[in-house]
Chain A
Amino acid sequence: MKVSLFITCLGDSYFPRAGIATVKVLERLGCEVDFPAAQTCCGQPMHNNGFAPEARALATRMIRVFEMSKFVVTPSGSCAAMIRDCYPHMFEPPHNAALFKQAQSLAARTFEFSEFLVNVLKVDLAAMNMRWHGRTTYHYSCHLRGLGITDEAVRLLKTINGLEFIPLENAHECCGFGGTFATKYQQISSAMVRDKAAAIKASGAETVVSSESGCTMNIAGACRRAGHTVGFKSLPEIIAEAMGLMPFTDSPRVPGVSA
């Protein structure tokens, strides 16, 4: 099965290991992965802030870049949601009718990593005898709602031997990232993420798994500031490590700062 990776702009620069893990896991599962190098950003910041022409220009670029891809897989829920939920609306007639069709087509071919594994590849990870160890919790990213993704990631995590899954208190509450919201309404956003960091601390988990680089940036930054020593990994990373495709790093990636 041929799969194109959409790394996302945050993933490319800030969390490349998540992308590397995505490639390795998909290849292990028999996919042939390519990376169309012309990709940049899905245009979500522009779209969400009301800059429609700017967002359409970037969406047009994405549509062209992934024109030939049978499947587009991304380790980010919100970027997948952007393509799936927003692209078709952005080109609704009276805009370019051809692009509208292509946007719908791209939307139908785009998947977030966990749903691609569970709902498209339908892999039985339990049979793969994956092994990891540690107390792990999962942060549910808001944009997964729009994609209809519920507990896919948790189901995947639970198939990993040795991984002790701890549910997170108020797991479904937004961490306060919200893109530019985090800087524009800093105090509200910080209040939200402080509670998230406190819930993580209270859970006693050593590692937090997330399907979204934006959330990770925000929550890890808050944990670090609060001095909670906890590791952050994307779902593909933990699966790649459990499959033995990447070195297992058991030390927290975000050491708490004892201020």
Chain B
Amino acid sequence: MTPSPTPLTPPPAAPVHEHPLNVPLPYDLKPRAAKAIGDIRLQQFVGSATKAKDHGRRDGFRDVFGDRYDSLRTLAGDIKQHTLDHLDWYLERFIDNAARAGVQIHYAIDANEANAITLEIARRNQCRLCVKSKSMVTEETGLVPALEAIGVETVETDLGEFILQLDHDAPSHIVTPMIHKDRTAVGRAFTRELGVPYTDDPATLAAIARAHLREKYRHADLGISGANFLIAQTGSIVLCTNEGNGRFCTSAPRIHIAIAGIEKLIPATEHLAVMLKMLARSSTAQPITCYTHMITGPRREDEHDGPDQVHLILLDNGRTEILRKETRELLRCIRCGACLNACPVYRRIGGHSYGAVYSGPIGAAITPLLKGLHNFPDLPHATSLCGACFEACPVKIDLPKQFIMLRKKMVEQGITDLRTRAVYRLWGLMLRWGWTYRASSWVQRRVLRLLARRGDSRRVMPPTAGLAPPAKVRADPFEDNAWLSHAPGPLGEWTKERDFPTPTARSFRDWWKDRGGEQAEVRGGQREGNGDTR
């Protein structure tokens, strides 16, 4: 095992671009979300792409695994959970086996250290041109600007990431980074940056990118990748890609640096078989990715291709904090993006609204843990807790439970503001005793129905609105909700874009009482029908 290069020189500060993920803290999600909701093109791109993938995932799993889909998810979740529960042991095994295969292992406690190690390797080997495969973890550490700052030209080779790099944009989806753009944006970027005539024909665009990137691969002396899995048993780094760029990046240049979060471990190759079944189907509805690459050490004596050096940087960057028991399951994540595709909120606000590298439900749960709850107080709350993410997750991460847990932490840590805390405490008290419940229901009914009866000055209401039900319907006091189109207080938010019903004239309790229910209770349920039913 090779020790980390020391002493570590701190990387130069990343140049400040107008980058979508450079957000002021604490991050306010609402303005960006509102902008995204109003952006018809974004709604169209993100909506159709995520829906297609989500349906494809369901269909793909159903066709092949039928009812066993759920037990497969349990198995995959158990594999990851087991590895995390014994992470120290598997890490040691992995490190021993990888080192034996000739991989140089480094440890980075945080993003700065990971970048510093990478830069040090680049410097030592006099690297000038870096080709990079898609890796969320390098987005997390901000590696590309750090490399460019020391004069290493760094080219993203994943087609989506390549276009984002040309546009100085950031990925908005874990798997399909330019989900927020369409091919016309690609055409424009190519014309502007590569000087080619404008086209939006996908085949031509792909050919342009291919020709451009081939030149880069030919001259690159450094290849950087992430890792989808690390296999403890063999010390292998597993990469799953569709474009073949990952294979090029890790075999053409003389140096390969892989950067991986410590949670990427799985015990053995037999477990990889399960994870591969889950990964591509969950993320892009493919049975398997086009390229599945297992890298076990650098080029050997008798091999033609491959790098002279393989480095692996094992990154913590807040992960051991998440490893504590209550949040540990979040580290099972294999970054398939299924939760993003399934999420009705992500679908409407897009990835950049999350204000951080990891978006969607999984991002909303881990970003506050990696970067501080007080910095991202909206993320655990901006979800209806519908559970579509949990249902889609191939490793069964109970994300709604995690969001509730984070909300609880916010209350406990005093991040939740005083007013909200007062409201919930009062609400809790109102529901705590029979008489307070009845009194508050009474007030609610009286006030809201009075407001509805007064009607609404700002909105023209037909005569049937307000209290009066349509003439055909008997005014049943148990279903005569009136409707408010401008409600007071926090309900005013509700009525900005939809109406709010008032309580009915009489409650269920009233009906039960009329029926003699209270006496029946006293008599221990010896009740006779009172003719109310016909």
Chain A interface (Cβ within 8 Å of chain B)? 2, 7, 9, 11-17, 19-20, 24, 27-28, 32, 34-38, 40-41, 43, 45-52, 54-55, 57-58, 61, 89, 142-143, 145-146, 172-174, 176-179, 181-194, 217-218, 220-222, 224-225, 244-245, 247, 249, 251-255, 257-259
The 3 residue pairs across chains A and B that have the minimum distance between CB atoms? A178-B384, A50-B407, A54-B428
| In the complex, per-residue mask of B425-455: 1 if CB is within 8 Å of any chain A CB, else 0 | 1011001111001000100110000000000
A251 touches B472 (CB 8 A): yes
**Whole-angstrom CA separation of A173 from B428 in the bound complex:** 30
Given A178-B385, A181-B381, are A192 and B476 neighbors across the interface (CB < 8 Å)? Answer: no
| In the complex, residue of chain B having the shortest beta-carbon distance to the beta carbon of A187 | B34
B459 touches A259 (CB 8 A): yes
> Please, could you name 27 A-B residue pairs with CB atoms under 8 Å apart, sorted by A?
A7-B508, A9-B437, A12-B441, A13-B504, A14-B481, A14-B502, A16-B506, A16-B510, A16-B511, A17-B478, A19-B511, A37-B509, A40-B434, A49-B411, A50-B411, A51-B428, A54-B428, A146-B387, A176-B344, A177-B384, A179-B385, A188-B348, A189-B384, A221-B501, A225-B497, A251-B470, A257-B465
Given A40-B437, A47-B404, A194-B497, are A34 and B521 neighbors across the interface (CB < 8 Å)? Answer: yes
A16 touches B381 (CB 8 A): no
B416 touches A218 (CB 8 A): no
| In the complex, residue of chain A having the shortest beta-carbon distance to the beta carbon of B400 | A146
Chain A nearest CB: distance from B268 CB in Å? 33
| In the complex, residue of chain A having the shortest beta-carbon distance to the beta carbon of B437 | A40
CB interface residues, B 478-510, toward A, < 8 Å: 478-479, 481, 483, 485, 490-491, 493-504, 506-510
**Whole-angstrom CA separation of A57 from B432 in the bound complex:** 7
Q: How many residues on chain B are close to A (CB under 8 Å)? A: 88
List of B residues within 8 angstroms of A245 by Cβ? 533-534
Chain A nearest CB: distance from B486 CB in Å? 11
Chain B nearest CB: distance from A124 CB in Å? 21
List of B residues within 8 angstroms of A43 by Cβ? 428, 431
List of A residues within 8 angstroms of B491 by Cβ? 183
B344 touches A41 (CB 8 A): no
List of A residues within 8 angstroms of B385 by Cβ? 48, 142, 178-179, 181
Further pairs besides A51-B408, A174-B386, A253-B481: 7, Cβ < 8 Å:
A7-B509, A35-B521, A38-B434, A50-B406, A142-B384, A184-B493, A251-B472
**Whole-angstrom CA separation of A189 from B491 in the bound complex:** 13
**Whole-angstrom CA separation of A164 from B502 in the bound complex:** 30
Chain B nearest CB: distance from A1 CB in Å? 12
B33 touches A20 (CB 8 A): no
Chain B nearest CB: distance from A248 CB in Å? 11
List of A residues within 8 angstroms of B474 by Cβ? 247, 249
List of B residues within 8 angstroms of A51 by Cβ? 408, 411, 421, 424-425, 428
Chain A nearest CB: distance from B294 CB in Å? 36
CB interface residues, B 115-130, toward A, < 8 Å: none
**Whole-angstrom CA separation of A213 from B390 in the bound complex:** 23
A142 touches B411 (CB 8 A): no
Chain A nearest CB: distance from B323 CB in Å? 20
A16 touches B478 (CB 8 A): yes
**Whole-angstrom CA separation of A55 from B424 in the bound complex:** 10
Given A37-B518, A57-B432, are A221 and B494 neighbors across the interface (CB < 8 Å)? Answer: yes
List of B residues within 8 angstroms of A222 by Cβ? 497-499
Given A40-B437, A187-B34, A255-B470, are A12 and B382 neighbors across the interface (CB < 8 Å)? Answer: no
**Whole-angstrom CA separation of A231 from B22 in the bound complex:** 47
List of B residues within 8 angstroms of A47 by Cβ? 404
* Tally of contacts, chain A with chain B, CB under 8 A: 236
Chain B interface (Cβ within 8 Å of chain A)? 30, 33-34, 37, 344-345, 348-349, 381-388, 390-391, 401, 404, 406-412, 416, 420-421, 424-425, 427-428, 431-434, 437, 441, 444-445, 459-462, 464-465, 469-470, 472-474, 476, 478-479, 481, 483, 485, 490-491, 493-504, 506-512, 517-518, 520-521, 525, 529, 533-534
**Whole-angstrom CA separation of A16 from B462 in the bound complex:** 26
List of A residues within 8 angstroms of B424 by Cβ? 45-46, 49, 51, 54
List of B residues within 8 angstroms of A220 by Cβ? 499, 501
A13's partner among B345, B384, B432, B444 (CB-CB below 8 A) is B444
A173's partner among B344, B390, B464, B521 (CB-CB below 8 A) is B344
Given A224-B483, A245-B534, are A54 and B425 neighbors across the interface (CB < 8 Å)? Answer: yes
**Whole-angstrom CA separation of A178 from B498 in the bound complex:** 15
Given A12-B509, A181-B384, are A57 and B437 neighbors across the interface (CB < 8 Å)? Answer: no
| In the complex, residue of chain A having the shortest beta-carbon distance to the beta carbon of B483 | A224
B37 touches A188 (CB 8 A): yes
Chain B nearest CB: distance from A55 CB in Å? 8
List of B residues within 8 angstroms of A54 by Cβ? 424-425, 427-428
A142 touches B404 (CB 8 A): no
| In the complex, residue of chain A having the shortest beta-carbon distance to the beta carbon of B353 | A188
List of A residues within 8 angstroms of B387 by Cβ? 142-143, 145-146
**Whole-angstrom CA separation of A176 from B37 in the bound complex:** 14
Given A50-B410, A190-B496, are A184 and B381 neighbors across the interface (CB < 8 Å)? Answer: yes
List of B residues within 8 angstroms of A172 by Cβ? 388
| In the complex, residue of chain B having the shortest beta-carbon distance to the beta carbon of A172 | B388
B445 touches A176 (CB 8 A): no
Chain B nearest CB: distance from A11 CB in Å? 6
Given A11-B508, A187-B33, are A32 and B525 neighbors across the interface (CB < 8 Å)? Answer: yes
B30's partner among A89, A174, A185, A255 (CB-CB below 8 A) is A185
A225 touches B508 (CB 8 A): no
A185 touches B504 (CB 8 A): no
A50 touches B525 (CB 8 A): no
**Whole-angstrom CA separation of A35 from B479 in the bound complex:** 20
**Whole-angstrom CA separation of A184 from B506 in the bound complex:** 29
List of B residues within 8 angstroms of A254 by Cβ? 483
**Whole-angstrom CA separation of A172 from B349 in the bound complex:** 19
| In the complex, residue of chain A having the shortest beta-carbon distance to the beta carbon of B432 | A57
